[in-house]
Structure 1
Amino acid sequence: MNYRDILENAKRISDFKCKVCPECNGKVCKGEIPGVGGKGSGSAFIRNVDQLKEIKLNMDTLYEASKVDSSIEIFGKRFKYPIFAAPIGGLIPCYGEKLTDYEYSKAIVAGCKQAGTIGFTGDGVKDEYFMDPLRAIEENDSVGIPTIKPWKKEEVLKRLRSAEEKNVVAVAMDIDAAGLAILAQAGKPVSPKSVDDLKEIIDATKLPFIIKGIMTVKGARKAMEAGAHGIVVSNHGGRVLDHTLATVEVLPQIVAAVKGRMKIFIDGGIRNGLDVLKVLALGADAVLIGRPYAVAAYGGGSEGVALYTEKIGKELVEGMIMTGCNNLKEINQDIIFRPSI
Structure 2
Amino acid sequence: MSLPPLQQLPADLVSAADYQRYASQYLSANAQAYIDSAAADELSHAANLAAFGRYQLQTRVLADVRGGHCRSELFGLQLSHPLLLAPIAYQKLAHADGERAAAYAATAVGSSMLVSTLASTPLEDIAAAAQAPLWFQLYWQPQRELTLQLVQRAEAAGYRALVLTVDAPLAGVRNAEQRAGFALPPGVYAANLPEQQPLPELETGQSMVFEGFMAQAPSWQDIAWLRAHTRLPILLKGILSPHDALLALEHGVDGLIVSNHGGRVLDTVPASLDALPAIAGVVAGRVPLLLDGGVRRGTDILKALALGASAVLIGRPFVHALAVAGALGVAHLLRILQEELEVAMALTGCRTLADLGPDVLWTPHGKA
Per the normalisation by structure 2, the TM-score is 0.79
Q: Percent identity?
A: 27
Distance 1:284 1:16 in 2: 35
Q: CA deviation at 1:88?
A: 0.4
Q: CA deviation at 1:192?
A: 3.8
Secondary structure of the 1:187 match is coil
Secondary structure of the 1:57 match is coil
Secondary structure of the 1:265 match is strand
Q: 1:73 to 1:99 in 2, by over 3 A?
A: same
Q: CA deviation at 1:186?
A: 7.3
Secondary structure of the 2:78 match is strand
CA displacement 1:1-58 (0-9 Å, x = unmatched) = 2574583753322614576xxxxxxxxxxxx5x4522200100100111111111000
2:84 is aligned to 84
Q: 1:321 to 1:14 in 2, by over 3 A?
A: closer
Q: CA deviation at 1:223?
A: 1.5
1:99 aligned to which of 82, 95, 99:
95
Distance 1:63 1:289 in 2: 30
- Indicate whether 1:232 and 2:257 are aligned: yes
1:28 is aligned to none
Distance 1:294 1:186 in 2: 29
Structure 1 residue runs without a partner (length 5+): 20-31
Q: Work out whether residues 172 and 211 of structure 1, in 8 Å CA contact, stay in contact via their aligned partners in 2.
A: yes
Instruction: Give aligned pairs, total.
Output: 316
1:143 aligned to which of 133, 148, 164:
133
Distance 1:4 1:294 in 2: 18
Q: CA deviation at 1:154?
A: 2.0
1:173 aligned to which of 148, 155, 164:
164
Secondary structure of the 1:178 match is coil
1:12 is aligned to 25
Runs of 4+ in 1 over 4 A off after TM superposition: 16-19, 188-191
- Indicate whether 1:187 and 2:199 are aligned: yes
Secondary structure of the 1:177 match is coil
2:154 partner amino acid = A
1:48 partner amino acid = N
Matches within 5 A, 1:55-94: 55-91=55-91
Q: Work out whether residues 40 and 242 of structure 1, in 8 Å CA contact, stay in contact via their aligned partners in 2.
A: yes
Once the two structures are overlaid, the 10-residue window that deviates more, 226-235 or 310-319, is 226-235
Q: 1:84 to 1:14 in 2, by over 3 A?
A: closer
CA displacement 1:85-121 (0-9 Å, x = unmatched) = 10001346xxx4x536xx2211211111111010111
Distance 2:155 2:344 in 1: 38
CA displacement 1:168-223 (0-9 Å, x = unmatched) = 1112111112132489x973757543222101102211111111000010111122
Per the normalisation by structure 1, the TM-score is 0.85
Structure 2 residue runs without a partner (length 5+): 1-8, 175-196, 201-212
Q: 1:331 to 1:200 in 2, by over 3 A?
A: same
1:119 is aligned to 113
Q: Which has the larger radius of gyration?
A: 2
Distance 2:65 2:172 in 1: 50
The alignment yields a C-alpha RMSD, in angstroms, of 2.5
